[in-house]
Amino acid sequence: MTPLTLVFDLDGTLAETAPDLIGALNHVLAGDDIAPVPVEAARSLLGAGARALIERGYARAGRELTRARLDAQFDAFLEFYDAHIADHSTLFPGVLACLDRCRAEGWRLAVCTNKLEHSSHLLLGKLGVAERFTFVCGQDTFGVAKPDPKPLLETVARAGGVIARSVMVGDSVTDIRTARAAGVLVVAVDFGYTDVPVTELGPDRVISHFDALDGAVRALT
């Protein structure tokens, strides 16, 4: 039987990245004299990539943002963020041990995120888990972002898996919609970045700690 393929979201699923993402947002907002956003606001701002994060930051302040200014601020955001990508970001409890258990089972592991691919590789390397993933897909890898199913479908294929033997692991409505559109089972963590509790979004399973992930996957498959 084809081994299972687990495809993970990154921000809010594998890693607590809000402090560094909001720090980079506040860096660019300061350039237009916009008050800093508290980290506590991350749940309603994160999940759709850096451009959306910047747009939401301006909208939160009631400020208009032209396309030209967004492009400039996006470049400034990336430069600052990549330089500070793991100043305060950490893996969630149990992630490392869980990844090792899953690999010991012979399962293929991959990442499908709306973070840019370069930044995703950089962060995974800084967190010491890059080598555990067969393939990493970012928002720019295939030209479209989640919840379009293409990034997930292509990630499973590049990891050597098949859709019928794959599970998405995420933290938000974006991940759940992506999995549903791709015909992939989905496990949601309840500690990530979402302003709607994942229990209300209809995933196949919900977990509160990575100690429970492999058991949840076995129960589904």
* Nearest-angstrom CA–CA distance, 72 and 122: 22
Q: Is the pLDDT of residue 46 over 90?
A: no
Q: Is the pLDDT of residue 124 over 90?
A: yes
The percent of residues above 90 in pLDDT, for the chain, comes to: 90
Per-residue pLDDT at 150: 98
Clarify whether 100 is annotated catalytic.
Answer: no
Across the chain, where does the E strand assignment appear?
5-8, 15-16, 90-91, 108-112, 135-137, 166-170, 185-189, 205-207
Which residue ranges form the domains of the chain, and what is each CATH number?
5-16+89-220 (3.40.50.1000), 18-83 (1.10.150.240)
Per-residue pLDDT at 112: 98
145 C-beta neighbours (distance < 10 Å), count: 23
What string of DSSP letters covers 154-173? HHHHHTT--GGGEEEEESSH
| Eight-state DSSP code of residue 92 | P
The model's pTM? 0.93
